Structure formats: structure tokens, C-alpha cells
Amino acid sequence: MYSTDSKKALSGSKLLILLLLILGAAIALLPLAIIFLTSLAPPGTSTSAAMTGQSLTWANYREAWHQGKFLLAFANSTLVALAVTALQIITSALAGYALARLKFRGREAVLLVILATLVIPFQLLVIPIFIILKWGHLINTYWALILPTAANGFGIFLLRQYFATIPIELEEAAALDGANRWQILTYIMLPLSRPALVTLFLFTFIGEWNDLFKPLVFTTRPELRTVQLALAEFQEEFTNSWSLLMAAVVIATVPVVILFLIGQRQFIQGIGTTGIKS
């Protein structure tokens, strides 16, 4: 049994941890609050006036939405992000299951090669990728934004680690009932791997949504503009109008924030369990 002094000390430590967490959250959220308040300030007013909450308006968002032509950019970014995410989930699930369960010569070497790809920046591969896309007549198409990142070493390793935590007895029981490898993966492994799949979905979707490099290098057609490319062009055009610029930043950020808030519980669970078994 804890003594009274021990309980008081424990309560005091918990309170201190809580205060530190609140302080850390406040520091992290302060820049976001400044951006949001600035986006509500009328054009031509100072940032300090926005901080005091004087004459705030939502008109900047309507103006930024129309000036930046974000409707087309949102559609393009959503299409590209969902397509890349779907392909990465498929390729990662297939490769991750093979590396976690199938016994074949060179399995560890294959895993090491996949992990080695994580330290290679995408920018180093842009020239050969550009040549391949040009050879396939895919430049200035949606495929130029989708195919270069259709598979990813992080996703393969993430699902491989999560599959390794699932008891193999479940697969053996399914095999005794006549299930093949594809049925085991589809009906047993993937449903049980929901936290890892949500984690991969969030990582991939947010990464593609925030990607500026691929649209900048592989596309020149205005109808293929993504959110980040539209935001970069908007910044060049409205550098002197901070309220409109911050409104555009909020518009581009809100979808991924909402997506993360929806899947945060599964995300934390997926990150916390993928390193249990090697």
C-alpha cells in the first residue's frame, strides 16, 4: 500500500507532467493560432491588429479560394493522393506478407534492400524517373504523379512488422479449413491489421497531399495543378497580402488535419505495435 506522502508525491508528479504537456501543446499550437488569426484579418491591416481580434472577417477565405482556383487543385490532389495510397497499400500488403510469412532464400537480403531504399532521397532518382516517364509518354499526365511513388519501402516494412505480430496459429487454422494464401491475406491478415493500414494510409495520403516536387517537375499543364503547386503560385502572386496568403495556407491544411484527427487512435495503435516482433 502507498503511504499518504507517496500518493501526494505521485499526484504532484502527474500534475507537473500535465502542466508540461499543456505548455508543450500551447507552444506547438501558437504558430497555428497566429496563422489562423492573420487569415481573418481584413486586407491591409497589420498582423498585430489581427492578434487583438479587431475587425476579423471570413471574406479572405472566399477570396483566396477563387483567386487560387483551389477547386481544381483539391480535385487533382485528392485523386492523386487516393490513387497513390491505394497502390501503396496493395504493394505493401503483398510484399509485407511475403517477407513476414513466406520462407524463401534471400528473404533477409530482400528486406535489407527495401530498407536501404529509405535512405535514398527521391530527388536523386528524379532524372531516371523522368526519362522513364518520358519514354512511356506519361509526362504531363496523372500517371506521372502516381506511378513514381506507387510502392514504398516504409509501407512494406510497416506491414511486414505488423503481420509478424499476428499469431501464425490463425493462418494454420484457416489453412486446415482449405483457405489459400490469398484468402488468408484478404480475410484474416488485412482485417486484423487495420491499425497498420490506417497508419500507412495517413502517412501516404498526407505525404502526397503535401508533395510539391512531383507536380513541379513532371507536369506543366495548368489542369494538373495540385494543392501545393497552387499554393506556391498563390504565394508568388499575393506575397504582400498576408491575410489572403494565410487563408490559402489554412485552406490547404484543413483536409489533412481533419483526416489525422479521424484516424489518430488507429494511427497511434499502429505505430505502437509495429515494432513488437522482428
pLDDT score for 42: 77
pLDDT score for 60: 84
Kindly list the distances between the CA atom of residue 258 and the CA atoms of 180, 202, 213, 252, in Å, as whole numbers in the listed order: 38, 11, 24, 11
Low-confidence ranges of the chain (pLDDT < 70): 1-10, 12, 43-55, 238-240, 266-278
Q: What pLDDT digit, counting tens, does each position of 40-58 carry? A: 877 666 566 556 656 677 8
The pTM for the full model equals 0.83
Q: What pLDDT digit, counting tens, does each position of 17-35 carry? A: 888 888 998 898 888 888 8
What counts of helices (H) and strands (E) characterise the chain?
15, 0
DSSP annotation of 187 reads: I
